[in-house]
Structure 1
Amino acid sequence: MNEMIKPASGGLVPTAPTRRDIGIRRRYAAERRFRFYGLAAIAFGLAFLFILLWSVVSKGYTAFQQTEITLPIEFSEKVIDPGNKRATDPNVLVTANYPLLMRNALAEKLGVSATDRPALKQISAMVSDSARVTLRDMVAADPSIIGKTVPVTVLASANVDSAFKGQIDLSVAETNRKVSDQQIGWMNQLAEQGVLAKGFNTGLFVNGNSSRPEAAGLGVALVGSLYLMGIVLVLSLPIGVAASIYLEEFAPKNRLTDLIEVNINNLAAVPSIVYGLLGLAVFINFAALPRSAPLVGGLVLTLMTLPTIIIATRAALRAVPPSIRAAALGLGASQMQTIFHHVLPLAMPGILTGTIIGLAHALGETAPLLLIGMVAFVANVPATPLEPSTALPVQIYMWANEAERAFSERTSGAIMVLLAFLIIMNLGAIMLRRRFERRW
């Protein structure tokens, strides 16, 4: 940038930099620093995002696998119905000692004597307590299997499952772990025989909550979240769009509408737990709606989502060029026809995007659902939105507070499922915007 002058003796020498040159250099240096800071901020955020995802995935991917034991089990009549009373008393098939059948079959496979009580006790501890329900349901569905030997697959206990997945340090002293050396030897023996193996954990998606981590699942939470999102979508979308159209197209510009707009913007920033308190006071205490029901949760989340949808819808309506309205009105269309035939279709991409983002926000909320009782222990899948249920984020919260080690794996797995739903919803919003968006 320096100019060159030619002295009397010949040759070129640089002149001193001018104030303008110094200013340009400073601006260029400031621009380079700003770019560096921006790249550093992006790298910093991506690093923390990678650490978060890695910590969740590394702990939770094993939750999608479950250790199972497959054995031929003799449904002995002496154990199930020794008095042959099932014809007159069906409760006999419900109260039978089904774990004894599994223990006997496993002891026979391992070559353990029926008189070795300490060994039999350790064998029983290798099988999940949910085996009782599995065998009972089989007999209840088909009583003719009594007296027969049928291959059955049941879940291993949580401790055996963790040990088989390598989550327990087997090099420590036996007294410092929950699986004994003898159980480890049996586990390896059964694995070599193909009796004990890992399979896809379908129970994680279909089972309800359970105090036994190996049998606990997200079935109730998934159905409850589906009910919640359905209620929020049905209520918040038409109400939010109608309110936005009125405020943007019909409402006069005065102090009242200005006050309404300010309050809508403020409601979007209200903490979600406040909506939970509102739902507890209005929907449960005053309206006497059932506690822990998805209906109440959907109403609370609708109130929380409405400001987001209204703000997004108004922005989408405002983005439609005024020339569209003027052209429609100039051709004789009424104001209603102009809005519903021309303005609203053009604003639909923004409306759908705001709605999906609002639903994704509602799907991840926990605090308002805790206050209305959706933190209850629910084992059965709700048939209607009026029955007790829970939701995905609440189920994660409940499992995170459990003391057993195996629930930590389930917690991370549930977080992965929730993140998958959120990613799908946000990708859907992006695709809808790109599919229907028009550039002016």
Structure 2
Amino acid sequence: MEQLQRDVVLDVDDRPSLGQWIGLSLQHMFSMFGSTVLVPLLVGLNPGIALFSSGVGTLLHIMITKRKIPAYMGSSFAFIVPMIALMKTTGYPGVAVGVLSVGVIYMIVAAIVGAIGTDWIEKMLPPVVVGPIIMVIGLSLAGSAAQSATLLNGKYDLRVFAVAMITLGFTILFNMTLRGFIGLIPILLGIVAGYITAVGFGLVDFTPVMQAPWFALPAFDVPFVNYRPRMDWGAVIVMAPLAMVTISEHLGHLMVLNELTGRDFMKNPGLHRTLAGDGAASIFAGLVGGPSVTSYGENIGVMAITRVHSVYVLIGAASFAVVFSFVGKLSALIQSIPGAVIGGVSFLLFGVIATSGLRILVERRVNFDRKRNMMIASSVMVIGIGDAFLQIGSGDHIVQFSGVAIATVLAIVLNLILPEKAASER
């Protein structure tokens, strides 16, 4: 892929100054925090462990990919349904086996890719496929942002919407007007401004912060220490197939990062390394009591807005996550950030991801007068954005494939089987 250096402020291997490093890393940590702790809260796992495992998992991923890919590993939403079911039936031991099996699937796929290479990727993923998929990744998250920006405890609250829009307004203002170092952290500043606004609207509860201890060791739920080792094949059957879903999302995120940085990470350091990095992160999470992890679109959005792609900034964010998982009051303070603030910032973060896909279509001059291109983009975008999910099974053994995953597979299949020209164009 050609090197598209779009006025990059800090490239992948650039090191920021200490002051910049702290601010930029905190910005990334705040951006991922809400979703990373939300998953364990929904499932019934320990949020502190999820924060810890996300930080260590990110460091493992960066190490395995030779410090060449700026990606953050956070709790995956794809496994919420099966993990909740397993918690009800087998408790954490079953969840642990399931999470470990997901990591093993990643490792197996990584070995296969390492053996056969990646030349097939360019044939399967031309711009007409990559562009719509990236747009779907961003726009499919729009509903989540809108809910955070309008609902409080499941009910519409005008205060929540007001805070979300004020947060969005501040974030846009900071992006457009600030220069120098503070111009590199508009998302962090937007979150701070939104948080102060939320306090004024009475949406912040400081009680958990006051009650939290300064130092709190996460209650690590180590499966092979706290429980008798056993293989739960039911957990494997429920969780492992969904690894293919997050692998398809992993490919989509790599496409976005390739476009942002002007690199081809699928070739260097290689798709086998990126998959192995994800797998190692999930295996570690399973061993310490956390949920499965995956690369985060929120952090990709931050990079797209700030034009700071430094892997060292992500190393800093991961390190802060590990430290904060042990500092009770800091962790409680971050958890007190209301959904209204996260929703307001997410309007911009998710939108920037979507426009990155649009930019690919424009810059690569994809011709939509061609029926083939129109058929691929149209069907993929509606299925992905509408989240036309596929659900297999019933009761406590349900496997669900998200609209993003289905759209990714459909785009690849249509690209391979459709002729270059329709009958009416010949």
Q: Which has the higher helix share?
A: 2
Taking CA–CA contacts closer than 8 Å with sequence separation of 6 or more, which of the two structures ends up with the larger relative contact order? Answer: 2
Point out the structure with max Rg over C-alpha.
Answer: 1
Same fold (TM > 0.5): no
Normalized against structure 2, the TM-score is what? Answer: 0.21
Normalized against structure 1, the TM-score is what? Answer: 0.20
